[in-house]
A and B are shown apart, each in its own frame.
Chain A
């Protein structure tokens, strides 16, 4: 499962990536979780199976949702509480739920 995260500079999401990778290892999951900045997200879209946005760039949701869904990639915004507490486990589960939908 390839999960792409996006925030303004790709900095704070990369903190969350570490937590999510831990959670993914515990579940024995394969795949890649990575974070990019808002201007790079389009170049990374094709490699992702699900795209999650940091709440601070949620204004990008309409545009990315359109681009993503044309390719069958679900796109959504991470809950601010999980984002702030860097809850990798919750965000990972959120990503899995989105991908199964």
Chain B
């Protein structure tokens, strides 16, 4: 076991470090963070729109009119349905920042390029008509949301790469002396913006002549579909938690690294559920593995589902060290922050405690997955609940107000208690013996001085 840890330290840590420091993955992760506050606010309206209280719908319709839900959901459309636009801007901004070139220009160019790559028409079937007509001059909202996410991130990364290469090669318009710096700076973006938009335009025209018809269709066939299939399966979920916890075992923030790679996939899967839920809250939702699946049902108390461990420390610890770690950890633990446990207990580099720390989330993924796929527990509805929301409340909210979501959280905490218990006892006993040993040693010391 000691060999395993030193292997992780030597081999896995440098790789994890390189992944975490990879500029484009970092920019994608940070760009996604930009849209999270909006999604949480949108979720608030989503929850209010579908409160599972008997008679609620009739009450709302009588009070606010038949259109109450449509109107209530306006903010949902303005948050969830424009996430590709916002994320694209955010990714370009953060990437440009890393290259130390003007991030605002890079963000603006990326948004323009994304819109240029997107068809500006939709097909619409008027009532009573048999064939769909093409409506021109619109921005298709479906492609501005999660469906356009991969295209927008891809364009943001590529356009910012072109942008910074041209700037760094110093191919810019130079204004004569005496022109205010603010004016000349706005001309700097001119050449790179022209090159990027020209390239996107040519690409779009080229693709329109193929059977793919749009860049969106290519990306969803080539990239998005296989990624979603991989990230959305039980096996994908298991691999993700294993990687997260093996990284944590050597003391690296595993979730931050895995989110960089799979964050966009989980966000897309989550939004597929939201779209179905918004149409009909009683409908069968397509995905189980989403961002919420991990945050709400696997990580109670933080990575490793350590809330149960903290409860054990509070209730059953004999050693002073475990008692005080328990008291220190319960406050943050309720909000799913567990660095005090991970480094204080410690779990990091600890061959004994790493076993339940990896085993526990592994078991919880399997149990939660089957509980949801067999229909015992409601699936995450696409409502975006902050990961710091305490368990039991968060499970209720993330399922769009289903009590089964909370019950599964309670069951999962109980299962974690069982898994952690024997390991906790061994560790606590060892700490207790150490403390007793110290005490006796001190007493012996005192006695001998007294005799002298």
Q: Which residues of A contact B194 (CB under 8 A)?
A: none
User: SS class of chain A's interface: helix, strand, loop or mixed?
Assistant: helix
B5 CB to closest chain A CB (Å) equals 14
Closest to B247 in A: A56
The answer to whether A80 and B33 touch across the interface, beta carbons within 8 angstroms, is no
Q: Which residues of B contact A54 (CB under 8 A)?
A: 339
Closest to B324 in A: A85
Given A39-B26, A58-B252, check contact A15 B343 (CB 8 Å): no
A38 CB to closest chain B CB (Å) equals 7
Q: Which residues of A contact B17 (CB under 8 A)?
A: 59
CB within 8 Å of B: which A47-93 residues? 54-60, 63, 80-81, 83-86
Say yes or no: is B305 at the interface (Cβ < 8 Å to chain A): no
Contact sample, A vs B, 27 pairs, CB 8 Å cutoff: A7-B253, A8-B253, A8-B255, A8-B256, A11-B332, A11-B337, A11-B388, A12-B332, A12-B338, A15-B332, A15-B337, A15-B340, A39-B26, A54-B339, A56-B251, A56-B253, A56-B343, A58-B251, A59-B16, A60-B20, A80-B348, A81-B343, A83-B339, A83-B343, A84-B342, A84-B343, A85-B344
Q: Which residues of A contact B26 (CB under 8 A)?
A: 39
Say yes or no: is B109 at the interface (Cβ < 8 Å to chain A): no
What's the A-B contact tally at a CB cutoff of 8 Å?
77
Q: Which of A11, A39, A84 is the one whose CB lies under 8 Å from B344? A: A84
Please list the residues of chain B having a beta carbon within 8 angstroms of any beta carbon in chain A.
13, 16-17, 20-21, 26, 29-30, 33, 94, 97, 248, 251-253, 255-256, 325, 328, 332, 337-346, 348, 388
Say yes or no: is A96 at the interface (Cβ < 8 Å to chain B): no
Complex Cα distance A55/B343, Å?
9
Complex Cα distance A86/B29, Å?
28
A88 CB to closest chain B CB (Å) equals 12
4 additional contacts (CB under 8 A) given A9-B256, A56-B342, A83-B344: A8-B256, A39-B30, A55-B251, A58-B251
Say yes or no: is A1 at the interface (Cβ < 8 Å to chain B): no
A9 CB to closest chain B CB (Å) equals 8
B86 CB to closest chain A CB (Å) equals 16
